[in-house]
Structure formats: structure tokens, C-alpha cells
Amino acid sequence: MTNIGYIRVSSISQNDARQLDGVPLDKVFKEKISGKSIKRPGLEKCLDYIREGDTLHIHSMDRLARNLKDLQNIVDDLTGQGVTIQFHKENLIFSNTANAMNKLMLQMMGAFAEFERSLIKERQLEGIAAAKKKGKHLGRLPSLSVDQKKEAISMVETGTPKTEVAKHFGISRPTLYSVLKQEKKECVQE
């Protein structure tokens, strides 16, 4: 019987230290990737490694899956193989000895997590729409001003190598190509 931990955070800037802190584990699988897909390298390695009689420790349900269907499928597959799953935040344990109350709790908690995720996305989209309506610029600022773009185009047209032009403005060659492509489109439209 091996105690295995699965730890996931969504982005590189997030800290995973609080997950499963103090839980004695024999093997830990960590990854920094979004949980929207179950196709995650760390999760796949964990699922390949785990064996009958092992216990999989996870901080919370949303670390394993972001929607109810995926959560149920993973839990059902693992418990069907004789693996015990313990969600520490929710204080729930699932094993192949089916417990109707635990199954109900899994479905309810999973549904709430999925609902919460939907609300977050909805609020995010509303915030973006409100910012756009106020005329706020969203996303990355342009690399070059209008005058700099004109100068870069002029330099390329007079034969300056594109690598030199990119270095002169402190931009990448793909960015320069993007500027040239945009200029070409605008000339065609006129």
C-alpha cells in the first residue's frame, strides 16, 4: 500500500506548497497546468503508476478535474481498480466499497465546483465587455508606434536587412513580419 499525492496548480506563478502539506506521501506527482482537460502529463503518469491497494491523496476535487463528468469517471475508474482516493479539503474518501452518501457528496461537490468555474468565466467575460465598452485597451500594448512602423517599413523598402531592422527597434523578426504584413493588407484595401 503506497500513499501517492497528486498536486496541481493552474499557472507557473501559483504556489503548490499548501497542497497536501504534512501528509506523509511515498510518491508525489506535481504539475503546473490548467485543469480544464484530463490530458495532463502529470496526471497521466500518476494514473499509470498507481496500483490496487494504493491511496491517492489530493488537496481538493477541483485539483483533479474541473467538470463533474471527468471527476466521476476518474474516481470510478480508480476505485474500480481497488484504489482509495482521499480529498483532503472536502474530507471525503472514496474506495471500491461503495458508500451511497459519499457518491452523493462527490456529485454535489463536483457540481458546485463546475458551477463556480462557470460563474468565474461568466464574470470574467462581463468584465472584459465592460472594459471594452469604456474604451480600455485589453491585451498587450503595440510593440511599435505608428511612426516607428512607418520608419521600419521604410528601412525594409530601402534594403536594410530585416534582422537589422528588428534589432534597431528591439523587436523580434516575427513582430516585424507582422508589421509588414499589416502594412501590405492596408495598402491592398486602399
Catalytic positions are 10
The answer to whether 113 touches 66, Cβ cutoff 8 Å, is yes
Mapping DSSP onto H, E and C, the string for 86-130 reads EECCCCEEECCCCCHHHHHHHHHHHHHHHHHHHHHHHHHHHHHHH
Beta-carbon contacts of 181 under 8 Å, excluding residues fewer than 6 positions away, are: none
The amino acid at residue 4 is: I
The answer to whether 5 touches 54, Cβ cutoff 8 Å, is no
CA dist 51 and 84 (Å) reads 10
H or E element in which residue 71 lies: helix 68-80
